[in-house]
Amino acid sequence: MRVLLFDIDGTLLVTDDGGKTALEAALADEFELSAVDVAISFAGRTDRSLLRELLERNRLDASEPNQTRLARRYSAYLPKILAQRGGEILPGVTELLEKIAAQDNFLCYVMTGNLRETATHKLNHFGLTRYFQGVYGGDHDSERDDLARRTAADLRDRHGEQQLGEVIVIGDTPQDIRCGHAIGARVVAVCTGSYGRSALEAEKPAAVLNDFADVTAIHDLLAAP
């Protein structure tokens, strides 16, 4: 059985800054701020690290209770923001997931820096939930490598060492590539996020794709030994 671990933002879909907008609104309302500073880097990060940095940047106590407050308000606001801002599924994604779902030799999961709940909101909004057996999110780990290790351990517990074949991590950032390498996975990078080909190739993934538009070729790449 081959395990595919897909990132969400910039890999499967884009939300037109829906997540950032929802976080900004959540910060302002939950902590009664008249002005909010969200000028930080989001790409490739886990939400656990983002919550902490956003609180600190806005001169708030980055305690666990405050992170929990912000996460809850963010998750509550996100569905409405997604409905307002739109966004889109990236080229070839739905067709590729359909092709993968039609076969029984793949296990397909999401591994994302998003909180598990907000990742699920995004998958539901774009109608992609049914293609995945589950979501591994950035609820607990500030570092993407730790998220990948936690995911790999849970997959072994869930499916058994003997049932798991090759693991392939699919994402659009250098952090996706590094976390895949941290668990000994093959990594396929795609240039549909905020990083160009040269930045992705520098991390030495197994392949770098422009996008998923050539569904048959991408499927064959993922299925190849």
The pLDDT, as a whole number, for residue 160 is 81
The pLDDT, as a whole number, for residue 162 is 65
The pLDDT, as a whole number, for residue 163 is 65
The pLDDT, as a whole number, for residue 138 is 94
Taking the chain (225 residues) in consecutive chunks of 10 residues, what is each chunk's mean pLDDT? Answer: 95 94 96 93 92 96 96 96 93 97 93 97 97 96 95 90 82 97 96 96 97 95 90
The amino acid that residue 2 corresponds to is R
For 23, 35, 74, 81, the CA distances from 32, given in Å and listed in that order, are: 13, 9, 14, 19
